[in-house]
Amino acid sequence: MNDTLQRYLQHLTSERRLAPRTLALYTDALQRLQAAADEAGVPLKQVQAHHIRRWAAQAHAKGLAPRSIALLLSGWRGLYTWWGHQGGVAHNPVQGVRAPKAAKPLPKALAVEQAMALADQDNPHTEPALQARDHCIVELLYGCGLRVGELVGLDVTPGAAAAGWIDIGDASAQVLGKGSKRRSVPIGRAALQALQAWLSERVAMAPAGEPALFVSQRGTRLSASQIRSRLKGLALQAGLPTSVHPHMLRHSFASHLLQSSGDLRAVQELLGHANIRTTQVYTRLDFQHLAKVYDLAHPRARKKSE
């Protein structure tokens, strides 16, 4: 990778402070850009809009999904914007180039009964400490709508290096979300009870000085992949008909809360969405539920008695 791309990645790391996963996506996009430019024999500084369109079309022809192409273009656009501010290029060749339109699938959410069954699932063959831990994980993911990265980053108490922490007295979780934005999330009664039960068991599992809220049997901070694996196993034990992942519980949290309250703005705040349009997708999840409410409540929907 040439010096300019390396300097841009350093900018994303040190100044933009992107998450490791996001940084990996940008790195892949830049490597693809350099490979395409090298194959075409075009220096990156001389890339034009027609090059970008052709490379995006070639990626689409090779089977890359529209969403993935949009991520590529976003990474390339960001590079040339930064490069222009540095005085390296006179224009941004990616400006105005759009990815192919893609269908917008609805996020998958559990039914209320399924979410409750998962939260209430106990495995008699699992040690009590692990049962308490896994139950607490489910309650925080479903009861608070946390992202798995936010959950993994939680510490027991606040500290200088803490990404997030819990406040038992205030019944809240202080989490570090996307874009390094902090938000306070209330912890409901069921999640608070699960949290207190886990903390009483955690003492025997976590070594002295370990700040992580959720630890493995070896006493180290649980990883996102470990949580995904535990959650998948719990779903199977609960007899759920679908594979469950952490983000599905976040979707379920948003859908069920919006279904009950109808307060889109509050759900946006709890999820930590910067743009309310991101939250609006959940209004499409429960159209049948909303249609039933309309049929029962709206004067123009009720049939007149004969």
Annotated catalytic residues are 147, 178, 247, 250, 273, 282
Buried b / exposed e over 8-27, threshold 16 CB at 10 Å, is bbeebeeeeebeeebeebbe
Q: Which residue's entry shows tokens 């996020």?
A: 107
**Cα–Cα distance between 166 and 156 in angstroms, integer?**
6
**Residue 264 phi, psi (nearest 5):** -65, -40
**Cα–Cα distance between 154 and 162 in angstroms, integer?**
7
Tokens of 85: 């501010």
- DSSP classification of residue 282: G
| Cβ neighbours of residue 68 closer than 8 Å, sequence gap 6 or more | 59
User: Within 13 Å of residue 287, how many CA atoms lie on the same side as its CB?
Assistant: 4
Sign of the alpha-carbon dihedral angle for 220, 226, 232, 233: negative
Q: How far apart are the first and last CA of the chain?
A: 77
Torsion of Cα atoms, 135 then 136 then 138 then 139, to 10°: 120
| Cβ neighbours of residue 3 closer than 8 Å, sequence gap 6 or more | none
Beta bridge pairs of residue 184: 174
> CA dist 160 to 155, 157, 265, Å?
11, 10, 31
Residue from 266, 220, 226, 204 nearest 137 by CA? 226
